[in-house]
Amino acid sequence: MKLWGGRFTSGTDKLTDDFNSSISFDKRLYKQDIEGSIAHASMLGKVGVIEPTNAKLICDTLAQILIDIEAGSIEFEVSAEDIHMNVETLLIERIGNVGKMLHTGRSRNDQVALDIRMYLKEENKDITAMLVKLENVLIKIAKENIETILPGYTHMQRAQPITLSHHMMAYFQMFKRDIERLSDCYKRTDILPLGSGALAGTTYPLDRDFVAVQLGFSGVTENSLDGVSDRDFAIELASCLSMIMMHLSRFSEELVLWSSLEFGFVEMDDAYSTGSSIMPQKKNPDVAELVRGKTGRVYGDLMGLLTIMKGLPLAYNKDMQEDKEAIFDAIDTVRMCLPVFTCMLDTCKFKKENMYTAASHGFTNATDFADYLVKKGIPFRKAHEITGKLVLECLSRKLGIEDISLDELKSMGSDLIEEDIYEEISLKQCVNGRSLTGGPAPCAVNKSIENGIIWLESL
């Protein structure tokens, strides 16, 4: 007999049991379910809804069930449908009618809302910690490469010289925003729904604030309908996770490109590369490629959650059982990707000479040549035109701007050009001259690194 079977005259078909059951995936909520039930039972005893001695017996027995589950001595039953009914069934088996008092004043609707919030709060913190480790690796690489020059790109075309340090700190900012988003998402997850009942609360004098304190929630939900039907916090976390994966994917794409012979900017450590089954010379950046590929999986989880919720009337509907597999998969994927990506990045060998050589070609100093003319009093658009024609001439002669003699530069550009032009368009000066806040100059990047360290220490 199912715990809800009083109204029924016959049992459910096995196909229905299998179809309806969620224990295969929500069993991971066992700890949160038991901790929530202990807090609920303690509160019931405190307010006198059940005898304090009965409350203590329930709490003690639940604590032992938790120990037994973690010891691997309990097998969950599909016929009990979900983790909530499995735990309650175990409780009743052990202490009889006293165990049947546990569910007083609550519903599986607010119970599952509680469990998933507790679980996502913990996962949010764990993923944040993983991101902090990645941020520290980025800081380390940035410190080591303040003056490592490479070409910056737009449209995948060499554009202007920057530094590897500046490039790494761009990703630092992306993951910083990810951490901030997770922190903001945490605030909306950190609200206790227990006490909402099935949809309309309860007539029992529950002390919701007591339960919130016991379980470490910052507050309680203010509307019982919303308390059981809200999954915004799960969708929001899936969105945060999707953005994390998007940033990892962009980074992975660059590392895949950089590790190619065509770029030759980086070599992956053997521990984070694979070979070919047929081509013995190959060293493939499979970790980066898999991270890039798994990003679409997390996007799919987000879209699945949004689609599940888009047409549901208030309050709880069984459709919402489908929220768990999607958010669990998104979490599992990010938890898998972040550590291996961080280790891969930490062991990368950056080929500084190749980076510098690449920055030396492709006229990455052309903008600085135009800026030089502007500083001499030539309007920018005219300076742009002069520089463009100069680049065209250089292309025809397979030369760089710095290879053209001063007399030719004067004839093609302006008599205002002087010998100092060669220093002004050197790669080092192109970088050092961009010392504005947020720029690639060592002084600006050092300040960015310093700010990043201070921010990390404040977490």
Instruction: Classify residue 101 by its DSSP letter.
Output: G
**Residues 264-281, mean pLDDT to the nearest whole number:** 95
Predicted local confidence at residue 81, as pLDDT = 85
Sequence-ordered list of residues with C-beta below 8 angstroms from that of 337, at least 6 positions apart, any chain: 245, 248, 290, 291, 294
First-to-last C-alpha distance (Å) of the chain: 51
Sequence-ordered list of residues with C-beta below 8 angstroms from that of 300, at least 6 positions apart, any chain: none
- The percentage of the chain sitting over the pLDDT mark of 90, rounded to a whole number, equals 93
Q: Which pLDDT band, with edges at 50, 70 and 90, does 129 fall under?
A: very high
Q: Which pLDDT band, with edges at 50, 70 and 90, does 8 fall under?
A: low
Question: Cα separation of 78 and 89, whole Å?
Answer: 12
Residue 402 has pLDDT above 60, yes or no: yes
**pLDDT higher at 88 or 19:** 88
Question: Cα separation of 11 and 15, whole Å?
Answer: 12
Write the pLDDT tens digit of every residue in 144-153: 999 999 999 9
Respond yes or no: is residue 155 known to be catalytic. Answer: yes
Residue 172 has pLDDT above 90, yes or no: yes
Domain 109-144+155-205+215-357 homologous superfamily, CATH: Fumarase/aspartase (Central domain) (1.20.200.10)
Annotated active-site residue in 10, 73, 155, 277: 155
Q: Which pLDDT band, with edges at 50, 70 and 90, does 48 fall under?
A: very high
The residues spanned by each domain of the chain are 8-104, 109-144+155-205+215-357, 366-425
Question: Cα separation of 70 and 236, whole Å?
Answer: 30
Report the predicted TM-score, pTM, of the whole model to 2 decimal places.
Answer: 0.94
Cα 70 from chain centre: 28
CATH hierarchy code of domain 8-104? 1.10.275.10
CATH topology of domain 366-425: Ribonucleotide Reductase Protein R1; domain 1 (1.10.40)
